[in-house]
Homo-oligomer: A and B are copies of this chain.
């Protein structure tokens, strides 16, 4: 229905993906991993589309990470396999995980507690299969996972290895790289996470518990890798297919690497308060940038003089950073392009992505939602 149209013809707000930029981002990450000598297991959580997954796996549809069971089902139904559900095993979803593990060649789950592991042991898989279990370790990120220094981590691996479950790998997310400013700070997080992960793998080896795979990831660390990461088995970044203003500010990418925009139209002029309204509120952009940007909730592409100062459900308020707004430059109905602060959050608000090449729509992608 939309293929062949120009972006200017789309109904707004519209989430757009520049396929050429996305392909370049994907290719660069593949090259980076090849150069490092690590496998790339891309995370699907940013886009949640089959087309994005196809691109990020180089067409193999093998070896991905997902953040929800809905994504796992969606990608399995779409012909993907070797899927790692990298989320602390939810107690209400064990049965459905079991069905996926029996149906797919490789469906991996992740635990960081003996209680979660016990649920797996109580639900052995059919077809002579073993649960492929990853241990989540927390290398100073401070979210899920056992700290590698915690004796409980080694104890849990001992429990994993045997019976209905087997150790598939150790997994660390360096989410603390999102607090970095610049490449050097990103790299010190990447180095610390890598070192701690590899040391833990050594500890396992010394305890007679060989660990087949070690995996760390985050878009900042994998966009600016350190050589030590070459000793890992794989990495699992996700956001890099799109990038965003946050990644640019952290130092993961440049402005020209950001593949996504929200198109929005001017719907009102209010000279008495020096503001215009656009048809994108938080349902079209999310509120993730709150207080993070001098230009408000987003960057208005080509207009560094503008600030998106407020958003309600379907309205955005734009005013100049200083001085009077020249309303003649922004006639009612004219299009503005917003660069999102956090692409994962903005994409999550859209039931459809308009994918274009050089401003002409070439496809629409339909993400999965829910849990």
Chain A residues proximal to chain B, CB less than 8 Å: 10-13, 45, 67-69, 87-93, 112-113, 115-116, 142-144, 147, 150, 175, 265, 267-269, 272-273, 277, 279, 282-284, 286-288, 290, 312-315, 317, 331-333, 344-345, 348-352, 369-371
Residues of B within 8 A of A92 (CB): 10-12, 265, 333
14 of the cross-chain contacts (CB-CB < 8 Å) are A11-B93, A91-B265, A92-B333, A113-B268, A144-B268, A144-B277, A144-B315, A150-B272, A175-B312, A282-B288, A282-B345, A283-B348, A290-B290, A352-B370
- A332 to B13, alpha carbons, bound, how many Å? 41
CB distance from A353 to the nearest CB of B (A): 11
Bound form: Cα–Cα A228–B267 in Å:
32
B90, B268, B348, B369: the one within 8 Å of A88 (CB): B268
Q: Which residues of B contact A351 (CB under 8 A)?
A: 369-370
- How far is it, in angstroms, between the C-alpha of A314 and the C-alpha of B67 when the chains are bound? 7
Interface of chain A, helix or strand or loop or mixed?
loop
A209 to B120, CA, bound (A): 73
- CB neighbours of A352 from chain B (8 A): 370
A315 to B333: give the CA distance in the assembly, Å: 39
Residues of B within 8 A of A272 (CB): 147, 150
Contacts of A348 in B (CB 8 A): 283, 313, 349
